[in-house]
Amino acid sequence: MNNRVNPNLPKELKEFGIRDWNDCYHCGTCTAICPLTAQGLLFPRKEIRLMQMGLKDQLSTCVEPWLCYYCGECSETCPRNANPGELMMSLRRYLTSIYDWTGLSKKFYTSKVWELAFIILFAILVVLAFLFVLPPLDTTLTAEGGVKVNSFAPIAIIEYFDWAMAFIVAGLLISNILRMYYRVVWMGTSKGVGILVHLREFWQLIFNFVVQPKFSKCDDKSYWLYHWLLMSGYTIMFILIVVFLPWFQTEKIHPAWHLQRSLGYYATIGLLIGLTAAIIGRWKKQQIKFQFSHVSDWLFLIMLTLTVITGILIHIFRVNGLPLATYICYIAHMAILVPMILIEVPFSKWSHLAYRPFAVYFARLQNSAMTQTN
């Protein structure tokens, strides 16, 4: 690890939204007030110190930013208004770019032009694919009066495309998680951790992904609920469209209580509640966690909202037998969804869905390595 103090790193970090890191004079109030501080975890103070001195290698081995759920108490009690919570948020962006080997993450976080250009490029590609690659529009209805959505967007092609996208995204994400593993567990403990420990602690990963218990430790429990509704809605919807597409995308219109529709409704409502809470929060800026919104925060919310809205519209038009409107919304839905998944999940804000539970897992590995040495 490089031990040289580097005042240029803080300048670099500024591009990720970090501001006034020098205001902190290390009184430790943030560490004391944080409901998530545990023995051996001195965050957010430790990371601020490393940032102030520009110690890039040491920062990149830190798992702590992912363990912070930004309740904002540290920022509220900070006597110098150094805003440690926001510093941790910015660090998560920085770490995402460190884990990413393609370099795109850094481009998206530090340049609005790059991010918008990528979104627009993929949106155009999707629209073009529908217009030129897929079969021509068929605006007639089926015998039962349903919209012929499967002939407009044949299951086989869409499913093939879904799986391809899922593999690309998963491949990128897994390679980045391996890089995270190398830094946090390998470099962070300066030696490996036994395979048994890996297996013993593995349930932490699943448990934290599904329940997000750490988030619920923040004093305001409502955000844990909003976030959980959003996360579960998103996950259900993701599984429905990738794994169960033939079952989910049918021309037959099932009754409203049918599992296909009720799962879809749950996911939609979950997403809407979560999104509304986040948008209102970021708009009103009453909580400290919502006061400083980075471009990537808004972009993510807007794209997801648009995805949900177009998804709802597809459903309404399909149920009411309006083929053309359904198809237009379908194209719009895909034109937003595809760039969102491709950019947000491996390179930007949504990568946290993987990094956060893995961070808890890696922290456990780190901890067991440390206790072994002692």
Binding residues for other proteins, rule: CB under 8 A, are 3-5, 7-8, 10-11, 20, 22-23, 25-26, 45-46, 49-50, 52-55, 58, 80
51 vs 185, beta carbon nearer other proteins: 51
46 vs 282, beta carbon nearer other proteins: 46
Residue type, 158: I
26 vs 227, beta carbon nearer other proteins: 26
- The span from the CA of 369 to the CA of 374, in Å, is 9
Q: How far is the CB of 54 from other proteins (least distance, A)?
A: 7
Q: How far is the CB of 73 from other proteins (least distance, A)?
A: 21
Specify the residue for token string 């980075």. Answer: 294
4 vs 252, beta carbon nearer other proteins: 4
- Could you give phi then psi for residue 141, rounded to 5 degrees? -105, 160
Inter-residue contact 162 to 144 (CB < 8 Å): no
- The span from the CA of 352 to the CA of 366, in Å, is 19
Q: How far is the CB of 11 from other proteins (least distance, A)?
A: 7
Inter-residue contact 250 to 315 (CB < 8 Å): no
| Residue 173 CB burial class (10 angstroms; 0-12, 13-18, ≥19) | buried
82 vs 173, beta carbon nearer other proteins: 82
Q: How far is the CB of 191 from other proteins (least distance, A)?
A: 18
Task: Determine how many CB atoms are found less than 10 A away from the CB of residue 240.
Answer: 17
Residue type, 112: K
Among residues 29, 206, 42, 172, which one has the least CA distance to residue 100? 172
Q: How far is the CB of 292 from other proteins (least distance, A)?
A: 18
For the record, the structure tokens of 238 come out as: 């993701």
30 vs 331, beta carbon nearer other proteins: 30
Q: How far is the CB of 236 from other proteins (least distance, A)?
A: 43
Inter-residue contact 86 to 19 (CB < 8 Å): yes
